[in-house]
Structure 1
Amino acid sequence: MGTISYGKLVIIGAGNVGSAILNSVLRMNILDDIVVVNRNQKKALGEVLDASHTTAFAYSANANIRVGGYEECADAQIIVITAGPSITPGNSRDRMVLLEKNVDVMNNIMEQITRYTKDAIIIVVSNPLDILTYIAQKKFDYPANKIFGTGTLLDTARFNKMLGDLCGVDAKNVTGFVLGEHGSTSFIPWNTVNIVGVPFDEFEKQFELKEKLDKEKLLHDTKVIGLDIVELKGYTSSGVALSACRLIGSIVRNEKSVVPVSTVVSGQYGMNGVAMSLPCVISKNGIDRILEVPLDEEGKRDLEKCYHYLKSTIESVYTE
């Protein structure tokens, strides 16, 4: 379609998450043009004005921040979709409560985006994330390497933080992925979890832990902590914003980082017909490759369960 304006980001949705992404990405000093698209223009303008004043401070790049329409997608390098209702206190135990409403929202957004571009890299943040990512890619025939969701990247960060705290090390030294659905059927392939090469089964000995690490509790806590945050403060924003920024940074700086994101699978582990989180190499092209980490028998069973759940959910709302 058109030419890409490198360093241009379009954020669709100016709610708690969209505004948190706007503010977080400004701190990174890697973009020079940021457009916010929102149904409520006054809200978008308020967020943009507030954020724009931070560029006067020494630690902030002088990015051009403004409110715009979908036509701004035409030359965007990256588009982040945060629009649609989020889980709220009282209904926060399952992201699937948002399913039908947000499928409609996603369809409307993708119709608008694809009028202008199929070249931008799209990052989906709205929930239920895996379902929306799948429909957006398949229904609108968007290049599969250029559309993915934040997926279990935040779940992974939460897990690594918990495990790092238990072992008394920096979370950044923990290598452990949460994979699958960003939701109730996510799983941890324990055979791949390590700290600088020390496998999970040896953590108690190496780090002189007083208590045995409880796999089930760690996975459970990883799954519910985000929902707990919603009950406590009304929404989640900081963690998911930095997840989006992690991906934006990988794209803009062509990092080739390996991170778990929700992508439409094409034969990995013999699977098709779903989007789910697997470790992917992220560069200026979007997804360079999807990695198939070696799974033990338990991991294969968990993957299978997750796959069937996502497939049946997709089939309930979308037929090809």
Structure 2
Amino acid sequence: MFKPHKLAIIGLGHVGSAVLARAIACQLAAEIVCIDIKPEVAHGEALDAVHSLSCSYVPGIHVYSGGFEECRDADVIICDAGPSIVPGQKMDRLLLAKENIAVIREVMKKVTAYTREAVFIMITNPLDITTYVAATEFDYPAGRLFGTGTILETMRFKSILGKHFHVDASDVQGYMLGEHGNSAFPAWSTVSIGGVTLSQLDEFFDHEEDLNREKIAQEVVNTAYDVVMSKGWTNTGIAMGACRLAKAVLFDERCVMPVSMPLNGEYGLHHVALSMPSIIGRHGVEKRIPLPLAKDEEELMQKSAESIQAVLRGNGVIA
């Protein structure tokens, strides 16, 4: 019997509500359930969304609020439970670790009471910390649970490079890797535009100034905090990234995007979750792609791992 796609969104704050709006606009799933620790918030977001569905652009989507039992037959779960960085705090996602580790452990207890079959996409920060906890402590099948990782940094990286060279950002190839946070780094060895490699970009594409790699790397990381300080939160970019990953799962696309999962020896690393390009399909992460990196990029991956592991140790997650 045909079963329409079902999406569960856990946490209906700024990001969760943006995920809901984007999922509806993209007609991502025929059924969307909103789940929040505050049932009235989930109810309000669902009800508000329902009022938009009489528009002919988004026919036939069933949106409603519910409890964790609604995860039992979900195809994809997107989780943004827990607080985020707010203006006035130090701009470092890792500072959220203690509080959000507890939040995610509670969420995972409730989700796994009903399913370990749904593909689970983590957004909650600090992303690599919460992903590691959720993926290693609750018997979730390998690959079915992963974090959005550096997909947002990669989107920002492509946007900045596209603007620099006056081309459509979607034509830029290249990845930000490592931590979703301050130690994320551009893998310059992966960058190309229209088949033109990094060393030849200046020759083929228009630009006003020389490419300053260090400046661009810092701009990618800092832009998140620029958004937070300007409007109080970030939600639009990450909502798009999460829905893009969900679409890859629901349509079994087998597309390649950088997501966060526990590493099992890639780059000699264990006991940490970090982002690297991965094939995303029906079962979640179908395959990891440990790209051969330049020596300095491997060193940056190691530093990123050390930053995450220090927080994991500090919170008793690893020894």
Place the TM-score, normalised by the shorter chain, in its bin.
over 0.9
Partner of 1:316: 314
Partner residue in 1 for 2:266: 268
Q: Which moved more, 1:124-133 or 1:61-70?
A: 61-70
Q: Could you say which residue in structure 1 is the equivalent of 2:31?
A: 33
Task: Return the match for 1:195 from 177, 193, 196.
Answer: 193
For residue 255 of structure 1, what is the aligned residue in structure 2? 253
Alpha-carbon separation, structure 2, partners of 1:30 and 1:241: 12
Q: What is the Cα deviation at residue 208 of structure 1?
A: 3.8
Q: Is the 8 A contact 1:92 1:230 kept in 2?
A: no
CA RMSD of aligned residues (A): 1.5
CA offsets per residue over residues 194-217 of structure 1, 9 Å max, x none? 102211122222214231100000
Q: Pick closer, same or farther for the CA change 1:73–1:12 going to 2, 3 Å.
A: same
1:20 to 15, 18, 22: 18
Letter in 2 for 1:299: E
Instruction: Tell me the secondary structure at the aligned position of residue 56 of structure 1.
Output: coil
State the alpha-carbon separation in 2 of the partners of residues 304 and 135 from structure 1. Answer: 20
The answer to whether the 8 Å contact 1:5/1:75 transfers is: no
Could you tell me the TM-score, scaled by structure 1's length?
Answer: 0.96
**Alignment check: 8 A CA contact 1:204 1:210 kept:** no
Find the residue that maps to 2:96 and give its secondary structure: helix
Partner of 1:58, secondary structure, is coil
Where do 4+ consecutive residues of structure 1 move more than 4 Å? 3-6
Q: Secondary structure at the match of 2:189?
A: helix
Task: Name the counterpart of 2:229.
Answer: 231
Q: Is residue 179–residue 278 contact of structure 1 (8 Å, CA) maintained in 2? A: yes
Where in structure 2 are there 5+ consecutive unaligned residues? none
Q: Percent identity, please.
A: 38
Q: Deviations over 1:100-151 (max 9, x none)?
A: 0001000100010111111111000010000000011111121120001111
Q: Say whether the 8 Å CA contact 1:124–1:147 is kept in structure 2.
A: yes
Q: Higher helix proportion, which one? A: 1
Report the equivalent of 2:52.
54
How far off is 1:5 after superposition? 5.4
CA 4–248 in structure 1, closer or farther in 2 if over 3 Å, else same: farther
Cross-structure match for 2:144: 146
Q: Alpha-carbon deviations, 1:261-317, whole Å to 9, x = none?
A: 111111212221111110000001101100011211111111111122222221221
Provide the C-alpha distance between the structure 2 equivalents of 1:208 and 1:40, rounded to a whole number of angstroms.
51
8 Å contact kept, 1:5–1:77? no
Aligned to 2:92: 94
Deviation at 1:4, TM superposition (A): 11
Whether the aligned pair in 2 keeps the contact of 1:4 and 1:75 (CA below 8 Å) is no
